[in-house]
Structure 1
């Protein structure tokens, strides 16, 4: 079988051909019209073809993919009879649960370096100037060979930059203390949103999302997003990072008999709301080109116009549930949705969209030659798995059977920027304290020193001396090569040492 059955009416059925599964798609419709069921039908269909899927479970009802549906009751039997599915049997799917917060699934982690300054600037809501400063800071870390793995690493590097703005500005470009302070405040906000659990190691390996079970079915990766969805920036940036990683790591394969992987982006508008133009261009580029990597992307949202037109034009497979034309925006969305379907002379699409019942949809998929089929009003088939949430005990059972739990459930903290900078600061503080202890004896031996100069260097009961001030400064900063040379030179001349 190379087709995914979506639904049928009295005279036609609508199937998604596997070879066009990487041509992307859209599932749209008002709340409560059946979008989640259509998403489950497609995910199950791809899984049966051996295609791994990734989807975000914003409401908790997609977790039912891991459990078989209940035995068919009278209402479901009538629906199955109408669809001609005499062989329908309840069946669970191979599912792996993931959760950025590590509570409802295996932890999902990425390193700061993997995220990069551009996406990190978006999730931190930085302006262009602050993003430029962040790029310079990343460059400093690269040149010094300091690993950026988690938020403490980035925090330590920002502190280093704040105390060495003049030196860094001279080498890499102007940075200001004000911009660094703004980034630090945004970092604190990001930490309070729970991102500290996302950044770190072991980082997610894409190969673990592209698995098949022992029977050859594609694993469905379900990301628990009920809390994540409340942090739109973190949610959208994570999904975009994941898609970008696939785009950068997978080889070009052209058109295959079936996709290598399929993504379902629920609440798709969160990817595009308030997104800067540069980011929209990046999303459009990835969606346009990732098809040749064998990856299909399916957006799920209430209105088709939640997705920018340039991206919407790339979505060849469409399942449109009912829209309600109560407001001018709704009426515009209905008109836009109707105009994007391949016409069917026997169907008034604009009128049908507002009159669809729950579980009904307008559907059009790509056929031979990549040509969209005429839109049909269909009754969407029922998934073989449970429609709805699962219990905590059921989720725990699925997690225990997971092939990747032992790899990701325990965090790793290896030496990186935070530890290196802390060690350097500790060494400088120790050297400065040693210098203070030796200084009085050396200075007292020099009969040319006056009491005034001693007080200036060593201090007295009323004020701090120069050496003590320099020592405290050294203990606060990790320094740079230039900074180290200055400190060595000054202390060497005072104590009579060699430079």
Structure 2
């Protein structure tokens, strides 16, 4: 039987990075915590993505907070999706309750309350720095996948984008796209079909219905200008700490299509904008997607494929993506297989389905001579988790049941006045919160249609005047002929009367 010394050596050797790292906690075995068996995550491998999973109330959010504040301290920018509204406290230092110091004494690590610089972002009606993107930036391929249209309809969208490019019609928001689609099946149908091919009104109608569905989830607030520049996610403050960018999403839990649209847009923009980095000493950006099932539950197959592709490729840009969810099975297997760091909080086995999920989860972790993984998952307490990562050579570290460190920042949310203070003092808010609605496809085509209608009305009026003039001319001509005939008749009658008068005189 392995001794405690064997266990400590096993963990210490497995979690022994040579470069920068994040201290996550101390390993536990048989109910005892060992400060000498520290669990350290190498910064170098944090672009290999990860998973934070566990039942409600087991400490997932606090684990996310621990990672985010430590990454900020190390100069690594963070982007967090705050779906439940409980992450804002990272902007303020912890009040330093006694139990926090006691916990850190157990794991052999000093507790020092601290805060991170924070930006509050928004894609909905909540206050914050506005995140927007234009329709043109999406392009026809990405937009087709978001709308989940058929190949024929995707072809029509490609034609629409081409027509707009060729005729300098900016596609900025959904009303621009809707206007062009309507124009393509009405006033501009002949013009577009002559140059680009036939467009079915049934197909454009189907696309318009998809757009309306997206609008009903609030997408009109997301599409438009000014477009958010992803380089602004990588800012640092004057002390060298990287910003933690928190996207406030508490009002879109029932709008999965909007959430998926936003996430795919953001991932695609980061992938297309960030230069190739390969494996550096630390990531360029780390993203935490809370309630990750919202991306995958309602996503179409095409959209899910696109997300999976970007997750696989974005690592080379120095970007790490961490999914936070209740059960690992919420994340597709293709994505799950790409994850390097796994932090598994407790799962509860109330049903046969739960037990099956626990068994599957246990099989995704390295086999350990110190733990019965399936039973360990159900026995973990709050703030404890099974951890495995990748070492600096890319090999999985030993499985470690870990007592996690506590957040140095506030574990409660900010007050309304504290939130307002952060937004009011934000340089990004001044840059992105200005409303811009410059002339685009909607206005240009509306003006074109109105001008065509005026010209048509003028032409019609001109034609009517010609008809009236012609009719008047005909009436005048007819009148002249009639008058001539009458004059002739009258003249003839006068002549006859004259002749008859002469004859009468002669007969007398």
- Which TM bucket (shorter chain)? 0.7 to 0.9
| TM-superposition CA deviations, 1:97-125 (whole Å, max 9, x none) | 01112533111111111123344345445
TM-aligned CA deviation for residue 212 of structure 1? 0.9
2:392 matched residue in structure 1: 368
- The reply to whether residue 417 of structure 1 matches residue 441 of structure 2 is yes
Q: What secondary structure is seen at the aligned counterpart in 2 of 1:340?
A: coil
8 A contact 1:123–1:234 mirrored in 2 = no
- The reply to whether residue 71 of structure 1 matches residue 71 of structure 2 is no
1:47 matched residue in structure 2: 72
Superposed, 1:52-451 pairs within 5 Å as 52-73=77-98, 75-86=99-110, 88-163=111-186, 164-165=188-189, 168-169=192-193, 171-446=195-470
TM-aligned CA deviation for residue 166 of structure 1? 5.4
Pair 168,257 (structure 1): closer, same or farther in 2 beyond 3 Å: same
TM-aligned CA deviation for residue 54 of structure 1? 0.6
Pair 449,389 (structure 1): closer, same or farther in 2 beyond 3 Å: farther
1:21 matched residue in structure 2: 46
**2: CA distance, partners of 1:192 / 1:116:** 21
Selected match of 2:60 from 11, 27, 35? 35
**1: CA distance, partners of 2:208 / 2:309:** 31
8 A contact 2:236–2:243 mirrored in 1 = yes
Q: TM-score, normalised by structure 2?
A: 0.84
TM-aligned CA deviation for residue 304 of structure 1? 1.0
| TM-superposition CA deviations, 1:220-247 (whole Å, max 9, x none) | 1100011122201110221121011111
Q: Point out the more displaced range, 281-290 or 193-202.
A: 281-290
**2: CA distance, partners of 1:330 / 1:161:** 52
**1: CA distance, partners of 2:474 / 2:108:** 105
Selected match of 1:8 from 20, 26, 31? 26
Q: Point out the more displaced range, 319-328 or 367-376.
A: 319-328
Pair 449,179 (structure 1): closer, same or farther in 2 beyond 3 Å: farther
| TM-superposition CA deviations, 1:233-283 (whole Å, max 9, x none) | 110221121011111111111111100001111111222224343333322
TM-aligned CA deviation for residue 350 of structure 1? 0.9
Pair 450,216 (structure 1): closer, same or farther in 2 beyond 3 Å: farther
**2: CA distance, partners of 1:13 / 1:106:** 39
TM-aligned CA deviation for residue 128 of structure 1? 4.4
Pair 450,226 (structure 1): closer, same or farther in 2 beyond 3 Å: farther
Pair 171,273 (structure 1): closer, same or farther in 2 beyond 3 Å: farther
CA RMSD of aligned residues (A): 2.1
Q: TM-score, normalised by structure 1?
A: 0.85
Pair 136,325 (structure 1): closer, same or farther in 2 beyond 3 Å: farther
5+ residue gaps, structure 1, are 452-499
**2: CA distance, partners of 1:128 / 1:262:** 35
8 A contact 1:112–1:151 mirrored in 2 = yes
| TM-superposition CA deviations, 1:25-73 (whole Å, max 9, x none) | 1111111111101111111111111111111101110111111111222
**2: CA distance, partners of 1:334 / 1:242:** 32
**2: CA distance, partners of 1:177 / 1:438:** 33
Q: What secondary structure is seen at the aligned counterpart in 2 of 1:264?
A: strand
**1: CA distance, partners of 2:392 / 2:434:** 48
Which structure has the larger Rg over C-alpha atoms? 2
1:454 matched residue in structure 2: none
Aligned length: 449
**1: CA distance, partners of 2:158 / 2:290:** 31
